[in-house]
Structure 1
Amino acid sequence: MSVVDVSGATTSRVAPFLQGLAREPIVWLIVLIFAVGALTSEYYLTALNLENLMRNVAVIGLLSLGMTVVLLTGRIDLSVAALMIFAVVVGVIVMTEIGPMLGGRWLVRGNTYAGPIIPVILVALATGTMVGAVNGIGIAYFKVPSFIMTLVSLTALRGFNYVLTNGHPYYLKAPLYGWIGDSKVAGIPVSFLIFLLVLLGLIAFVNGTVRGGRFYAIGGNEKAALYAGIKAQRYVVLAYVISGFCAAVAGIVFTARLKSVDAPLAAGYELTAIAIAVIGGTALAGGVGSPWRTLLGSVAFAAGLNLLAIWGIGNWYQNLAIGIVLIASVGLSRTSRKKTHS
């Protein structure tokens, strides 16, 4: 009777993975940040701070995953931060209007939503997906430059957010929303588990299927992709649909943590998403990157900002740090791309 050496097979798979991980500079950056945090603050490695860190990673990580897919095609999406709020606002507004038709008053005390939250979530996801599709169609079929198309979307969605809310926040009162924002499973925040679920889905699709591989082909050389029979327009639209969906999920996770949604929220998060994707090795010119490395970029970015906050460094200086990191990442991305092609 033969015996299969399962432990040996597992070791042979794990060892190359760990070796590859050790060769990633961003992994050592994460280790350095955590080491400095542990040495300079007794609170940095506490359970409470690590939970907050994971919740932060969930929001910016979801935005960055969608941005990564768009960047792979050689485009950009500046609308993600405005969309993450717009999707939830639309969900609340739609259900507020439906409530009286069903004989229920779901908006109480002026601006507190107390109705069913699952339909709000479904409407938000549908809204994010549809806005992403509109961006993609405008860029792919009407040939509007992605920077212009998504900048217009950013401006329009910000305006709609203020119009729909009348400049006042909506407070979201629902047990399920509280569970998404505050609860943990085996010590891991639910919001972070949602992020991991989306991450695994994107890894399986982008890196594990022929269709997903076409994002790389389009971003690497779109003309060659067209000659190879790849319908680039469809995949550009799909990339923006994925980005819109990820933005909506980020909005749900973000507002569930705050128990409210307000028009000014998440301003500037689009730059954060771009910075994280580039830090994770995604090329702005397209064709290079992966959702897995975006996870590493999200952890490094969130851990770094968390450390600055613990040190008592204000938001203005944190924004300055984001700008410096983005400029440095773009420079390194261009340098490495030139080396690759030389």
Structure 2
Amino acid sequence: MRNLETLLRFMAVIGLLSLGVTIVMLTGRIDLSVAAIMVFSVISAVVFTKLLGGWIGERWVVRGNSFVGPASVVFLATLVVGCVLGLMNGIGIAHFKVSSFIMTLVTLTALRGGNYILTDGHPYYLQSDAFRWVGNADFLGIPFSFLVFCSVLAFLAWLMGRTNFGRHVYAIGGNEKAAIYAGLKTNRIVILTFMISGLCSAVAGILFTSRLASVDAPLASGYELTAIAIAVIGGTALSGGVGSPWRTLLAAVAFAAGLNLLSIWGVSTWYQNLAIGLTLLIAVGLSPASRKRLQL
């Protein structure tokens, strides 16, 4: 049961990143910055709250880098930062016509550097009771973080399957030029998809760092490739227009279970990364054939 609980907590984090990537990929674009946004949003929120405490005469960082301030302010600031970073990605891609690969790669690199600048290379230890509750709480044996993931999944599944926004996203991914001729505001929709991705990353950051009770600059390195691999394994086409949050859920379950099994067998992280790379390569190779079969 302890191993199953750990599996669900891990799946909640990578699942949220994968959901954000899925929404972006449905438009025919990609987001390489999800893991960097996940960590940077929390670090910047902690730094902002620390500065806020100084402005009002409160000392919320003690014993070096132990943060004891209000978690609610950090949570809210994290969500805001995630949305803003997604907005910046979306504007650069939609209005300035920067390739999504280049734009999000630049964001990834800049945020990784920003993490070290804000932390000065040292972790922040999150000592608030609220962080411990978010990281360890469960209901009827089901981790709170997994319930959050399921809630986001249900909302995005409804958004993509039952609303005009979802239909427009699929239309852009299927044939963007036809969508423009049909009068769809493609730039606005693309920006919103990147904001959703940034928000999913921020929520994942809250869950991830609360579980660790700390946040550090190099955390989650490589998680962006894991998220993309899960989305592709779930049938989301790299060219856009094909995929769904429910398929991403199934892929996340299979992927997390596979990595968990490798850990139980004692396979080192290096070989696990190799397995992720090979899985992504195979999934990308099969993706065109899968899309053709779905269209038929």
Matches within 5 A, 1:1-342: 47-340=1-294
Rounded to whole Å, the distance in 1 between the matches of 2:166 and 2:290 is 24
Post-superposition, which runs of at least 4 consecutive aligned residues in structure 1 deviate over 6 A?
none
TM-superposition CA deviations, 1:214-236 (whole Å, max 9, x none): 11000000011111111110000
Deviation at 1:340, TM superposition (A): 4.4
Deviation at 1:243, TM superposition (A): 0.3
Give 3-state SS (helix, strand or coil) of 1:207's partner.
helix
Give 3-state SS (helix, strand or coil) of 1:329's partner.
helix
Deviation at 1:204, TM superposition (A): 1.1
TM-superposition CA deviations, 1:23-78 (whole Å, max 9, x none): xxxxxxxxxxxxxxxxxxxxxxxx11110000010000000000000000000000
TM-superposition CA deviations, 1:166-203 (whole Å, max 9, x none): 00000001111111111101110000011111111101
Rounded to whole Å, the distance in 2 between the matches of 1:271 and 1:62 is 13
Deviation at 1:341, TM superposition (A): 5.2
Deviation at 1:129, TM superposition (A): 0.2
TM-score by length of 2: 0.99
Rounded to whole Å, the distance in 1 between the matches of 2:146 and 2:129 is 18
Q: Which amino acid aligns with 2:137?
A: S
Rounded to whole Å, the distance in 1 between the matches of 2:30 and 2:165 is 20
Rounded to whole Å, the distance in 1 between the matches of 2:192 and 2:27 is 10
Deviation at 1:99, TM superposition (A): 0.5
Rounded to whole Å, the distance in 1 between the matches of 2:170 and 2:285 is 21
Contact residue 235 and residue 290 of structure 2 kept, 8 A: no
Deviation at 1:339, TM superposition (A): 3.8
Give 3-state SS (helix, strand or coil) of 2:178's partner.
helix
TM-score by length of 1: 0.85
TM-superposition CA deviations, 1:92-113 (whole Å, max 9, x none): 0000001022221000001000
Give the direction of change, closer, same or farther, for the CA distance of 1:341–1:290 in structure 2 (3 Å limit).
Answer: closer
State the partner residue of 1:3: none
Give 3-state SS (helix, strand or coil) of 2:125's partner.
strand
Give 3-state SS (helix, strand or coil) of 1:171's partner.
strand
TM-superposition CA deviations, 1:113-159 (whole Å, max 9, x none): 00100000100000000000000000000000000000000000000
Give 3-state SS (helix, strand or coil) of 2:239's partner.
coil
Q: Which amino acid aligns with 2:16?
A: L
Q: Which amino acid aligns with 1:86?
A: F
Instruction: Give the RMSD, CA atoms, in angstroms.
Output: 0.9
Q: Which amino acid aligns with 1:187?
A: G
Q: Which amino acid aligns with 1:245?
A: L
Rounded to whole Å, the distance in 1 between the matches of 2:242 and 2:248 is 12
Deviation at 1:337, TM superposition (A): 2.0
Rounded to whole Å, the distance in 1 between the matches of 2:21 and 2:291 is 19
Rounded to whole Å, the distance in 2 between the matches of 1:314 and 1:113 is 32
Q: Which amino acid aligns with 2:26?
A: L
Consecutive unaligned residues in structure 2, runs of 5 or more: none
Rounded to whole Å, the distance in 2 between the matches of 1:172 and 1:122 is 15
Give 3-state SS (helix, strand or coil) of 1:144's partner.
coil
Give 3-state SS (helix, strand or coil) of 2:162's partner.
coil
Deviation at 1:210, TM superposition (A): 1.4
Q: Which amino acid aligns with 2:9?
A: R
Consecutive unaligned residues in structure 1, runs of 5 or more: 1-46
Q: Which amino acid aligns with 1:169?
A: P
